[in-house]
Structure 1
Amino acid sequence: MIASLDLPSKVRLLTGATTFTTAADDTIGLGELRLSDGPTGVRGLDSSGVREVTLLPNATVLASSWDTRLLYDVGQLLAEEALAQRIHVVLGPTINLHRSPLGGRLFEAYSEDPLLTGLLATAYVRGLQDAGVGACLKHLVANESETERHTMNSVVDEATLRELYLTPFEIAVADADPWSIMDGYNNVNGVAATEHVHVNNEIVKGEWNYSGLLMSDWFATKTAAPAANGGLDLVMPGPGGPWGEALVAAVEAGEVPMSVIDDHVNRLLVLAARVGALGEHRQYPSDLPTPTSPERREQLTRLAAAGMTVLTNNEGTLPLRQDQSAVLIGRHALDTVCMGGGSAEVNPPHQVSIAEGIAALTGTPVTVVDGVAVRTRPGSIQRGVLLDPETREPGMHFVLRSVDGSVIEERRSASAVTTVGWDDDLDVDVAAVEFRAVTTLEGPIDVGAMGVGDWTLNAGDAGFEYTLGPPLADDAHAGRPGPSLDEILGGAMQKPPFRLDTVVVGSGTEISGAVRRPMTPGRFSVTVAPAQRSSADAIAEAVSAAAEADVAVVVVGTTEERETEAFDKSTLHLPGDQDALVSAVASAARKTVVVVNAATPVIMPWRDDVDAILWVGLPGQEAGHAVAATLYGTIEPSGRLVTTFPPEDGQSPAWSVTPVGGDLEYTEGTFIGYRGHHAGRAPEPSFWFGHGLGYSSWEYRDARLAGGSRVHVTVANVGGRSSREVVQLYFAPDERDQPVRLVGWQGVTVEAGSSADVEVSADPRALRRWDTSASRWTPLSGRGQFLLARGLGDVRARLEAVPAGS
């Protein structure tokens, strides 16, 4: 096939044809490859907000299950979602590590540990690809933060690069053979990831003998010959880009060998053959579960609950009993955050709040007290707050108009968010985005608008006119100049400018207006919510309600403002006055349970003042049902933490995510997360990696080495209910320059009063070090201790290792 193509035809295949598709070539039977953002849902080819798709729990929740079978099931579920939209490749999983808890995109990645991340990713990839849908490991490599992400240079020594950041990719490549990998935006030791001969060619395609395709992150490729020679196979998106005629010219000038081009094309064709887009194209099933089907909703509830984690539980406060009177407090109880921001966002059919989930489980109305403000920007709307005025379906009606006023397209978005000019492939420029909806709220409401353009917004008798973003002269073109790369992948798409106004309306009031001269690509949304009260009033009402109930459940957390692509955090403290809310309720309530609706670590100054803490992550579209099931014990929250929770800002082994002079130096080496805390390079954490109590108690008996690096232990469930235990095996080497590390784990479910024999084998890839002088792997000395633990804060047995040959 390759021999039948001339050079321009070959090169045409190596750049995307559109934002999320590649070029077809009928002469060789090649169809387009259809790619989709993931992995918390398969958005599809169009992010305009029209298509409703399934929203899964975020990656840290799924990873907190420590369950490879569950991750395989996730891959299978996503494959069904992809097949329903005829998608060939899902752009996931994200397997960068949680280096610093400030990383904005940590919610998309599994953990701070390379072995846990690699083995979970392996299961996910197998689940996808066993169904014929390609996975895409991302982002290669040392891509753990978002600040200056298009220009920053990760400075990482070779041993750290190998032992930590490349290891999850190496494991997944060896054990699951993923069909594609994505190169990141960043530089690594001064070389762009898309041009990195050492990583792409020497390690991935050379040492690992990787047979799949390396694609770029969107707009990451800057050069022709250096990127082509540096191992990159496919530039995304298209149809423009740095290759095309420039790459043809580079080949003709002898700068890029034809053999390099042929290898790139070969890898693209291999991917196409694997996903059924080459030769006889695949058939697609028509009987797949829908996002709202009972089967899908049950799956999503179970997946979310499995990763929820009991952090504290004094005197068996959890699970709650239905005969207890409970009050539910906090903005997150009513407006539960189900997903993070950026390319992980999808448009789900619904997002069940915790208040709705508890009411559905108990069968009785639940007393709910709204809490303090948690956002500085307008948030997503609650379902049913806005209705399309024509269909009365939840959401907003959008009309896109051209310069001459004609209608380009009409859309309904259940989330009242629409993206214009990104992947909708419109033939003409958009001069105005009109919108209409009616609200079911009444009284004081906050009306928010987001997106670059000239806005007119009407809410009943109130009307507003303003410009968001840079103003334009009156004689400017009907549309704004196109955004820069940073604006496309940052502000204009991920965090557009906003305005918030408070008005008084009656139920059925129309919310309408238009955005003229919109910046495209751009993201536009209108939000409506009950007007936010002062913190003092909200806390006073919460305290009064808490004093009357048997138990107060306070729901706190972060939002998509912090858990997002393109931006890092500046603090781990909860936004707004949520800490003050928890402390005030704890001082008034008989029992206080805190539910933490956040994907990554937060600081908990009230930890010792409350009776129980349940960490629930960003649980996906069935969030409320999963949280209710775990609070009341119909499903055990058997999760174990995948990230160490530091006690305060700045108290992690790796903290800063801000490059200095463009460089972000990984000076902590291999001592990130629990490894650094254990070595005394950071204070004792609030909660260790691997921590999680579940709903039972355990004894570890007869721990012994079973030969080599295998450890045997009998675990006894001495609590009152069936429970799942995660037996974790760590190795603490005697070498002073080597950190403690997770080397294996085993999950086991045991009935109350029973026991089970468990054997955990150490993965040999965790028992090695990179010898920089010899440029090769070498085993650790074997001297040290194996630790059997329920997280490093609860070590149950220490066993002296026996070095090989002793």
Structure 2
Amino acid sequence: MTLDLAAKVALLTGATMFTLAPQEQIGLHEIRLSDGPTGVRGLKFSGGRVVALFPNATLLASAWDADAAYEVGRILAEEALAQEIHVVLGPTINLHRSPLGGRLFEAYSEDPLLTGKLAAAYVRGMQDQGVAACLKHLIANESETDRNTVDSVVDEATLREVYLLPFEIAVEEADAWTMMAAYNDVNGAAATEQHHVNNEIVKGEWGYRGLIMSDWFATRTAAAAANGGLDLVMPGPGGPWGDALVEAVKNGEVDESVIDDHVNRLLLLADRVGALGEEPREFPGGLPAPDSDVRKEQLTRLAASGMTVLRNENAALPLARGTRVALIGRHAVQTIDMGGGSAQVNPPYQASVADGLIALLPSKDLTVTDGVEVRTRPVPARGGFLTDPVTGWPGIRVQLLDADGTELEDRFCAQSSTMVGMDDDFAGVVTTAVLRGRVSVGGEVELGVLGAGRWLVEAGEESLRYRLDLTGNGFGEAVLAPPLRVDRFVAAEGDILTARVELLSEGTFANKGLFGLLGHVAPRSTVDVLDDAVRAASGADVAVVVVGLTEEQETESVDKTTLALPGAQDALVEAVAGAARRTIVVVNAATPVLMPWRDRVDAVLWAGLPGQEGGHAVAAALLGDIEPAGRLVSTFPAADGGSPAWSVTPVDGRLPYEEGPFIGYRGHYAGRAPEPVFWFGHGLGYASWDYSDARLTGSDQPEVMVTVTNTGSRASREVVQVYLRPDDAAQPIRLAGWTAVKVKPGESARVTVHTDSRMWRVWNTTSGEWERASGGQLLIARGLGDIRATL
């Protein structure tokens, strides 16, 4: 059956927020997409099905383990199959250009080879189960400031050698079935209209047969985007294609063969995911539940294995059982297990570090003390502070009404917030929402609301009326950073907080957005909190202070302005270190932070954003039940501004990548930025190592052989890293390969590291071709701060 032009074009825009339209004439069934990569959220942006929350990408990548990345892809595919999802929107394989990037927690690392190899393994694990992966975001999308309008200016050699390389590896080694074009411009052309990248390089030079879709609401034009290699506009059913693209074909602006190519790529995707044919695919049953013992084991192990020991003086870690531990910090009791934005999911629970240690240590050996405030922006009530008045469960009750006051839905929201209008399928339009939650803690509290609209807020005998407006601060503000307000109340336990909001009816996000109830105990003075922490620390054998970032810093749509820990967390660590016999700091953050206290504490464990089992994973790592054998995937600078690329703020709309290929460790090593605190690849694990008898074999694609000996007292995993240092000063040092090995104490292993041929080439901008890199040296290292041999 042949489709006419209008029918073909209709297939090239989503049918809804997360689905593609079926077409019975040709046996095409509905295709369902879901956000990733730290969990498969499903078809609802907020308040959807309960799903597993995975450790974040930097934590998973810190294992430097392709087998683990494959396992993550396979588990995510199972989570997708359980919801009848065909395409998972991940992995994110943009690079950590500047440590200020707000969305770096979704991306693997600052190195293109490490990123590409792990992405390829992840894609294979997912697609081996018949679920499509989506490489995102193509291309030069390393920051969030003005992300919809910024023009990333990148020279051709850097674009190919650095930023396109992870995509190239994942296509060449795993044949990823889809990619996503970014919001930004690249060298003056929108990513969704990038003829040079999308058509000439990806589909031309690489021979890519898959589909390139837009990021959500990123497509601006009809003819330019269609000719520029974009195959699919998301979401739908609106958008700039439809009739406009049909007219562009009729006017000769777009050849119909271009439309046919887009449709063929869509049909190939449908065939690959089982959505093309007489009958749609059958989805398996009996898959592990998000809170099953299987998932608990997998997610705990994956999180703990990627955690990285940055400092460990006098073997302060692992903790010996029987030690009296004072656990201190807001992140200890409210551990941050995921970043903000489209990576958020609705998990069955989120385990705190306090939960993890309480489960493993007797009560006589553990005290738990809250820490200083860590947020400037309140968040929806958590930890059971508000409960549903109907069920009593932690969360809130939300009633959605149309303009006539007719109830469209009555929903329970475990996260104390809900999305309205983005993925609803009501007959009517929501114009009013009523949110209710029962206060579980009496006394002086702060209560408030989240979302744009006209509010009536009632708590006990008090009521307030006000309006919250969008500021125009970026596309998607109503969803990703809606306005909020909190007020101080004296509440009795059991009081009902009721908030009625009339949704705003104007603008792009009319009758849409994120809405929620805010609530927490009123903050205490910093002095009182520090006094409590000092008392707890002085009465224990060891103090474990958990500090970190929050979704204010690590989130989609907003970049950081500093690497300093928010609030008075540095003062908390200093106070505890001055009072405790030993001090261990756990850093609950996905990206680099400043550590002015690092030389005054005994150990530092970097824990990332560890997912729903986060607290259990941290506890297992601290006690040595699972070795935290991670290696850093980003260089930790010593101060703000101390990275080769720093600013993420466009000037006159342009963000030049002036550092060229010298990002991260490459620039530090070349002296283009100060000596970092911790180098890329650094990680101590729980053993010490000797390297000996290093040799080089091969010439076209060299291999390095070296003997490693575990000189510690515990079995451990070592990651042998090999870097190429070219003779040409215009070429940066780069990771060329790595191999991991597990060795028992006192034993040795002969390790072979295969270097990747793509690291031995450079792009000649004059000839427009790849050529062999100049000669140089191979460095065998435990991270660039600990080089063991030079060949």
Same fold by TM-score greater than 0.5:
yes
Match of 1:507 in 2: 493
- What is the one-letter code of the residue matched to 1:678? Y
| Match of residue 194 from structure 2 | 196
* Contact 1:378-1:449 at 8 Å conserved across structures: no
Q: How far does the alpha carbon of each residue in 1:92-130 deviate from its partner, in whole angstroms, 9 at most, with x for none? A: 000000000000110000000000000000000001100
Per-residue CA distance 1:410-434 (angstroms, 9 max, x = gap): 1111111100011123332212111
Alignment check: 8 A CA contact 1:714 1:756 kept: yes
Within the alignment, does 1:59 sit opposite 2:57 as a pair? yes
Whole-Å separation in 1 of the counterparts to 2:499 and 2:513: 17
Secondary structure of the residue aligned to 1:34 is strand
- Alpha-carbon distance between aligned partners in 1 of 2:550 and 2:573, rounded to the nearest angstrom: 17
State the partner residue of 2:628: 637
Tell me, in whole angstroms, the C-alpha distance in 1 between the residues paired with 2:487 and 2:537.
31
Q: Which amino acid aligns with 2:480?
A: Q
Matched AA of 1:414: A
For 1:579 and 1:394, how far apart are their aligned partners in 2?
Answer: 32
Q: Distance in 1 between matches of 2:544 and 2:461?
A: 39
Give the secondary structure class of the aligned counterpart of 1:785: strand
Within the alignment, does 1:612 sit opposite 2:603 as a pair? Answer: yes
Q: Determine if the alignment matches structure 1 residue 333 to structure 2 residue 332.
A: yes
Q: Pick which of 108-117 and 41-50 moved more.
A: 41-50
- Verify the 8 A CA contact 1:153 1:189 in the aligned structure 2: yes
Question: Matches of 2:45 and 2:409 in 1, distance apart?
Answer: 14
Determine the C-alpha separation between the residues in 2 that align with 1:334 and 1:447.
20
What TM-score do you get using the length of structure 2 for normalisation? 0.97
Task: Tell me, in whole angstroms, the C-alpha distance in 2 between the residues paired with 1:456 and 1:352.
Answer: 34
Paired residues of 2:432 and 2:502 also in contact (CA < 8 A): yes
Does 1:45 pair with 2:43? yes
How many residues are treated as equivalent by the alignment? 782
Q: Bigger shift: 180-189 or 376-385?
A: 376-385
Q: Does 1:702 align with 2:702?
A: no
Partner-residue secondary structure (3-state), 1:161 = helix
Counterpart-to-counterpart distance in 1, 2:131 and 2:39? 14
Partner of 2:741: 748
User: What is aligned with 2:409?
Assistant: 409
Q: Quick one: distance in 1 between partners of 2:10 and 2:588? A: 46
| Amino acid aligned to 2:727 | D
> CA shift at 1:787, angstroms?
0.6
Q: 1:494 aligns with which of 469, 475, 480?
A: 480
The residue type equivalent to 1:322 in the other structure is R
Q: Are 1:760 and 2:753 matched, yes or no?
A: yes
Matched, 1:533 2:524: yes
Deviations 1:3-30 (A, max 9, x none): x100000000000111111111011111
Q: What is the percent sequence identity of the aligned residues? A: 63
Cα separation, 2, equivalents of 1:749 and 1:135? 31
Is 1:722 equivalent to 2:715 in the alignment?
Answer: yes
3-state secondary structure, aligned to 2:572: helix
Equivalent residue letter for 2:556: E
CA pair 185-455 structure 1, distance change in 2 beyond 3 A: same
- The runs of 5 or more residues in structure 1 that have no matched partner are 471-482, 800-806
Which amino acid in structure 2 is aligned with residue 181 of structure 1? M
Distance of 1:116 and 1:141 partners within structure 2: 17
Q: Partner amino acid for 1:397? A: R
Match of 2:20, SS state, is coil
Q: CA deviation at 1:312?
A: 0.2
Residue 367 (structure 2) pairs with residue 375 (structure 1): no
CA distance in structure 2 between the partners assigned to 1:515 and 1:51 by the alignment: 25
- The structural deviation recorded for 1:380 is 4.4
SS at match of 1:255: coil
Question: Please, which of 620, 638, 660 is the counterpart of residue 651 of structure 2?
Answer: 660
Match of 2:133 among 132, 135, 151: 135
Partner of 2:738, secondary structure, is strand
CA distance in 2, matches of 1:22, 1:687: 46
- The residue aligned with 1:793 is 785
Q: CA deviation at 1:207?
A: 0.2
The code of the aligned residue for 1:763 comes to D
Q: What residue number does 1:348 align with?
A: 347
Superposed CA deviations along residues 554-586 of structure 1, whole A, max 9, x for unmatched, are 111000011011111110001111111111111
- Aligned position for 2:537: 546
Match of 1:803 in 2: none
Is the 1:48–1:424 Cα contact (8 Å) retained in structure 2? no
Within a 5 Å distance, the mapping from 1:354-753 to structure 2 comes to 354-364=353-363, 366-469=366-469, 489-518=475-504, 519-708=510-699, 709-753=702-746
Gaps of 5+ in 2: 505-509
| C-alpha contact (below 8 Å) 1:112/1:643 kept by paired residues | yes
Contact 2:16–2:235 (CA under 8 A) maintained in structure 1? yes
In structure 1, distance between residues paired with 2:179 and 2:590: 25
Q: Is the 8 A contact 1:539 1:581 kept in 2?
A: yes
Mapped partners of 1:10, 1:39: distance in 2: 30
| Whole-angstrom CA distance in 1 between matches of 2:698 and 2:170 | 27
Aligned to 1:774: 767
RMSD: 1.3
How big is the shift at 1:547? 1.1
Deviations 1:653-707 (A, max 9, x none): 0001011111100000000000000000001001000000001111111111133
Structure 2 distance, partners of 1:678, 1:580, is 32
The residue aligned with 1:31 is: 29
CA offsets 1:424-479 (integer angstroms, 9 cap, x no match): 23332212111122232233222232111122223334433222116xxxxxxxxx
Within 5 A, what are the aligned runs for 1:222-233?
222-233=220-231
Compute the displacement of 1:511 (Å). Answer: 2.2
- 1:320 corresponds in structure 2 to 319
Which of 83, 88, 91 is equivalent to 1:90?
Answer: 88
Deviations 1:498-538 (A, max 9, x none): 11223233333322222223453200111222221111111
Say if 1:557 and 1:448 are closer, same or farther in 2 by CA, change over 3 A. Answer: farther
> Any conservation in 1 of the 2:300–2:614 contact (CA below 8 Å)?
yes
The 2-side partners of 1:129 and 1:117 are apart by: 18
Distance in 1 (alpha carbons) for counterparts of 2:425 and 2:667: 48
The aligned amino acid for 2:738 is W
Deviations 1:219-240 (A, max 9, x none): 1111111111111100011111
- 2:73 corresponds to: 75
1:590 is paired with a residue whose SS is coil
The residue matched to 1:267 in structure 2 has which SS?
helix
Moved more, 491-500 or 212-221: 491-500
Question: SS of 2:363's equivalent?
Answer: coil
Q: Counterpart amino acid of 1:463? A: S
Residue type of the partner of 1:634?
D
Amino acid at match of 1:635: I
Deviation at 1:643, TM superposition (A): 0.4
Whether contact under 8 Å (2:310, 2:606) holds in the other structure is yes
Task: Give 3-state SS (helix, strand or coil) of 1:218's partner.
Answer: coil
Alignment correspondent of 1:474: none
Secondary structure of the residue that 2:725 maps to in structure 1?
Answer: strand
Q: Residue 656 of structure 1 aligns to which amino acid in structure 2?
A: S
User: Which residue number in structure 2 is paired with residue 165 of structure 1?
Assistant: 163
Distance 1:531 1:249 in 2: 59
Contact 2:45 2:342 in 1 (8 A): no
State the Cα distance separating 1:493 from its structure 2 match: 1.0
State the TM-score, normalized to the length of structure 1: 0.96
Whole-Å separation in 1 of the counterparts to 2:181 and 2:749: 44
SS of aligned partner of 2:332: helix
**Mapped partners of 1:424, 1:556: distance in 2:** 38
Task: Report the Cα distance in structure 2 between the residues aligned to 1:635 and 1:687, rounded to whole angstroms.
Answer: 23
Offset at residue 394 of structure 1 (A): 2.1
